[in-house]
Amino acid sequence: MIDHRRLGRELDLFVSDPLAGAGLPIWLPAGAAARHAVEEYVRDLERRAGYQHVYSPPLGKRELFALSGHLGYFADDMFPPLRLSADDEFVLRPALCPHHALVYRARGRSYRELPLRIAELGGMYRAERSGVLGGLSRVRAISLNDAHNFCALDQVGEEVREILRLIREAHAALGVRPAGFRLSLRGPGEKYVGDDAQWARAEDLLRAALDGVDFTEAPGEAAFYGPKIDIQIVDAAGRESTLSTVQLDFDKPERFDLSYTDASGARRRPVMVHRSLVGSMERLFAYLIEVHQGAFPPWYAPVQLVLLPVDAGQAGAAAELARRAVAVGLRAEVDAGGSLGARIRDAAQRRVPYVGVVGAREAADGSVSLRLRDGRGLDPMPVADALGLVGAVVAARSSDLLPAAA
């Protein structure tokens, strides 16, 4: 079984140190480089789709989470409040929605601004029991790809369909293969806010957006404030979890008294759509490490190109090639120590997609011999062509190691 914890250690992606605490992994440089590439991609995808990004703090006053309903309905999953004085308590947030509701109401809103899409890759915290924690898949400090889309009721259907389209696009680029779509509904019990009519209307809207999509229904898996579409993944151990999600919420706009002015000047209540395209960075990478067995598509490989001088005489040429690669935006490095065979094996073990061998002939005529991660070797080519080849694959966010034939 390919376990992301073992690969994470072998590939130096992250470390879990008991001194830091269970469920609080630390991303090492290689893991951080891969995550950074994914974060940049997601932010760009969202920006092109009309999202506006914000920053908000990972903790806030107790009253904020009392107003949002989290303290009433979600306290079991939260860390206890931090008390500075009797009337000054702070909460490590379990979700970003309360802060984004404050972004919405930072000023008056007009119907012309809707849908207003507020996005953030932000920190949040869950007081998971230590027994369920492991690697990146269940953590206590979560970095969520999150957004809240505030829209008029008649915009909800189109907005949800567009979110599902973005989710599919992001999954294709990352190599995520969803196990299925799930419509998560209210179950029995008191842990849900809102009235029956709100729940029924939200459910109808989500069903309509799922028209033509195969999905299962899961009573009892809704958020406390509304039903949701969950896109499920399965890990190497066969455990299913939710990666991407779209949730409808009529409750928080009430609680935060959110409104906009419609075309006739009347005050109206927006609907809040909570959505995550790729889930938390932690759960996403736990999955990606396993599904790719550490061999990420070149665009988010921690190191994309390793340059190997055959002997000391080519050290300068290899270093110059690495500088040029870094200058055009690639993640490249030189490995000069040990036998050539050992260095090639080491690059393969690290799942580096491209190895550039620089021998005496290549150094003399400004060329490089590329070896691909899958074992294929290419004839020596001019350095500019090699950088162009790697750059084209990276820019296309392709999973193939060679550019599509022209």
For Zn ion, the binding residues (CB under 5 A) are 97, 274
Residue 226 carries which side chain, given as an amino acid letter? G
SS (H, E, C) 257-302: CCCEECCCCCEECCEEEEEECCCEHHHHHHHHHHHCCCCCCHHHCC
Closer Cβ to Zn ion, 6 or 191, answer by number: 191
Task: Tell me the residue ranges of DSSP E strands in 28-179.
Answer: 52-53, 59-61, 82-85, 88-92, 116-125, 141-151
Residues in the chain: 406
CB of 274 to Zn ion, least distance (A): 3
Q: Which of 138/274 has CB closer to Zn ion?
A: 274
- Name the minimum Å distance from CB 141 to Zn ion: 17
Q: How far is the CB of 188 from Zn ion (least distance, A)?
A: 24
Report the amino acid identity of residue 126.
R
**What are the percentages of helix, strand and coil residues in the chain, rounded to 5?**
40, 25, 35
Q: Which residue is nearest to Zn ion (CB)?
A: 97
Residue closer to Zn ion (CB basis): 245 or 367: 245
CB-wise, 54 or 348, nearer to Zn ion? 54
Cα 64 from Cα 99, distance rounded (Å) = 8
Nearer to Zn ion, 97 or 243 (CB): 97
Q: In the complex, what is the shortest distance from the CB of residue 154 to Zn ion, in angstroms, rounded to a whole number?
A: 22
As measured in angstroms, the least distance from the Cβ of 183 to Zn ion is: 18
Q: Which is nearer to Zn ion, 97 or 386 (CB)?
A: 97
DSSP assignment string, 383-395? HHHHHHHHHHHHH
Determine the Cα–Cα distance for residues 95 and 252; give it in Å rounded to an integer: 13
| Smallest gap from residue 95 Cβ to Zn ion (A) | 5
